[in-house]
Structure 1
Amino acid sequence: MSGRFISFEGIDGSGKSTQARRLADALRARGHAVTLTREPGGSTGAEEIRRLVLEGDPDRWSAETELLLFTAARRDHLEKTIRPALARGDIVITDRFADSTRIYQGTTRGDLAATVDRLHDLMIGTDPDLTILVDIDPETGLSRARARAGTELRFEDMGLATQTRMRAGFLSLATTHPRFRVIDGARDPESVAADILSATLAHLG
Structure 2
Amino acid sequence: MARSLRAWRGRARLRTIALIGIDGSGKTTQAHRLAEALSAAGHPATYHRNAGGRRWLGRLAHRLGRPDAQRLVGRNGMLAVESALRWLAIALALLSCLVTGRTAVMDRYSACQYASIRAHGGQRWERLTRVGYRLFPAPQVTFLLTVDPAEAYRRIERRGTDHESMDWLTAAATAYRTLPEYASFVVVDAGGSPDEVSRRIRAHLTEWLPGDRPAATGPDDADPLATGPGRPGPVSAQARP
Q: Pick the TM interval, shorter chain.
A: 0.7 to 0.9
- Counterparts of residues 80-119 of structure 1 (less than 5 Å): 80-105=92-117, 107-112=118-123, 114-119=124-129
Of 113, 119, 130, the match for 1:120: 130
Q: CA deviation at 1:181?
A: 0.6
Residue in structure 2 matched with residue 191 of structure 1 by the alignment: 196
In the comparison of the two structures, how many residue pairs are matched?
A: 190
In the alignment, what sits opposite 2:207? 202
Aligned pair partner of 1:12 in 18, 23, 33? 23
Opposite residue 53 of structure 1, the aligned amino acid is: L
**Contact in 2 for aligned 1:75/1:124 (Cα 8 Å):** no
Aligned residue among 21, 26, 29 for 2:40:
29
Deviation at 1:102?
0.9
User: 1: distance between equivalents of 2:13 and 2:131?
Assistant: 21
Is residue 171 of structure 2 the alignment partner of residue 165 of structure 1?
yes
State the distance in 2 between where 1:197 and 1:34 align.
14
How far the C-alpha of 1:131 sits from its partner, in A, is: 1.1
How far 1:123 sits from its partner (Å)? 5.0
Cα separation, partners in 2 of 1:135 and 1:174, compared to 1, 3 Å:
farther
1:3 Cα deviation after fit: 5.3
CA distance in 1: counterparts of 2:85 and 2:187, whole angstroms: 26
TM-score, scaled relative to structure 2: 0.69
Aligned to 2:146: 135
TM-score (norm 1): 0.80
Task: Give 1 or 2 for the bigger CA radius of gyration.
Answer: 2
Taking a change above 3 Å as real, the CA distance of residues 51 and 14 of structure 1, as seen in their structure-2 partners, is closer
Distance change in 2, residues 1:164/1:93 (3 Å):
same
Alpha-carbon distance, 1:50 to partner:
5.9
Q: Which runs of 5+ in 2 are unaligned?
A: 1-11, 62-66, 211-241
Percentage of identical aligned residues:
26
- Return closer, same or farther for 1:131/1:62 CA change in 2, 3 Å cut-off: farther
Query: Equivalences for 1:7-86 in 2 at 5 Å?
Result: 7-40=18-51, 49=53, 52-55=56-59, 56=61, 57-58=67-68, 59-86=71-98
Amino acid at match of 2:105: I
Instruction: Specify whether residues 133 and 123 from structure 1 end up closer, same or farther in structure 2 by C-alpha distance, changes over 3 A only.
Output: closer
Structure ranking higher on relative contact order (CA contacts 8 Å, 6+ apart): 1
Whole-Å separation in 2 of the counterparts to 1:8 and 1:73: 18
Contact 1:20/1:94, CA 8 A, preserved across alignment? yes
Distance 1:161 1:92, change over 3 A: same
What's the RMSD between the two structures over aligned residues? Answer: 2.4
Q: Distance in 1 between matches of 2:103 and 2:42?
A: 11
Distance 2:208 2:175 in 1: 24
Q: Which residue of 2 aligns with 1:149?
A: 160
Q: Distance in 2 between matches of 1:97 and 1:128?
A: 9
1:2–1:86 CA contact under 8 A, matched in 2: no
- Structure 1: how far apart are the matches of 2:91 and 2:178? 29
